[in-house]
Amino acid sequence: MSTYNSSEISFVCKSAEYDLVWEVSKYIVTAMYQGIGLILHLSIIKTILITERKYYRRCSFFQIFVTDSIESSILIIFSLFFNQLFMYIPPLCPIIGPYFYNPSVFLQFLYVIINHARFAKSITQIAMVLNRMTCVMMPAEYDHMWKKLTPMVWVSLLVIPFGGTWNCIISRVYIGPFRGGFTMNYIRTVEWAAVSFFQSIYILTALLFTVICTTVTVYKLFMLSRRIKSGEKSLFLSSILISVIFLLVGATQLAFAFCSVCQGSLLYVLQLLAFDTFTVGSAVIMIITDKRLRYSVLPCLWGPKKI
């Protein structure tokens, strides 16, 4: 275990090495699709927890999915206004960078909350695929079972991520140069407890659950297709499509964890893109596949709500 590093950590920005127009263009494109995702997630949160609360509180899947929207909203907000902003707009690096040369409570909080939300999304993914699998495996006990399990899922989403972020909390978080801007990193107080190591465990565990549960769900759905309500079928489709996107996250994490020659700035960018797709894609998929949610969130496009 090393001591906490409280010294000033400065660096030289590489802004001049990158084309300003190209870098800003990448940020604008990123901001556009993340902005759409944020609007959709916030609309879903409002619909499930406020405007249509009486209806959606009866469905455990939506009670779990809304936590994914909360986690995704946190990640998108911090990405738009910090991570991607200072990574892709080079002129901001020499202006903002010096404010974070010394230890910063804000930087520490930001790094911990971002990683906490990422770990929580893996747990949410496990809960969603388990929810769909038990719906087809134990339809009679499903509602009663998840009425008890859903509050436990909520508590787990708050507590279990600390199993992967605890070293971030006690370590020095700093910023370092990345492309024309900068990004966050940390100096590990406990050397072996890397966030990437725990992230691999969480994501690969979720990947295992996703493959097994989705396979069972698809098989049972095929066998019982005539006995399942259309509303349930849309939730099954949503879960399956979200699981497919999660496979992209799992693939990049596998490359990061086990392919030493693959690691570098390119893999880092690919990881960001995969996680962005997972973060934004879940909202898009739910809006497309669920009719009631689609009418509630986008009434101006889809007309009056039909129940």
Per-residue pLDDT for 304 more than 70? no
Distances (CA, A) of 22 to 29, 177, 227: 11, 18, 53
- 239 to 15, 96, 204, 245, 286: CA distances (angstroms): 42, 41, 18, 10, 9
Domain map (residue ranges) of the chain: 15-302
Q: What is the pLDDT of residue 246?
A: 86
d(CA 176, CA 186): 9
Structure confidence at residue 212 (pLDDT): 92
Ranking 57-61, 75-79, 220-224, 288-292 by mean pLDDT, the lowest is: 220-224
- Name all contacts of 257-260 with Cβ < 8 Å and 24+ positions apart: 257/196, 257/197, 257/200, 257/204
pLDDT at 295: 86
pLDDT for 77-102, tens place per residue? 999 999 999 999 999 999 999 999 99
pLDDT confidence bin for 307, thresholds 50/70/90 = very low
Residue 270 has a pLDDT of 77
Rounded Cα distance, 282 and 244, in Å: 10
88-147: per-residue pLDDT in tens? 999 999 999 999 999 999 999 999 999 999 999 999 999 999 998 898 888 889 999 999
- 186-204 average pLDDT score: 91
For 266, what's the count of Cα atoms within 13 Å in the CB-facing half-sphere?
5
CATH 1.20.1070.10: does it fit domain 15-302? yes
Mean pLDDT of 190-206: 90
Phi then psi dihedrals of residue 157, to 5 deg? -65, -25
With CA atoms as reference, report the closest residue to 29 among 93, 84, 86: 84
| pTM listed for this prediction | 0.89
Residue 167: pLDDT band (50, 70, 90) is very high
Percent share of the chain, pLDDT over 90:
57
Choose from 9-23, 63-77, 191-205, 271-285 the range with maximum mean pLDDT: 63-77
pLDDT attached to residue 294: 86
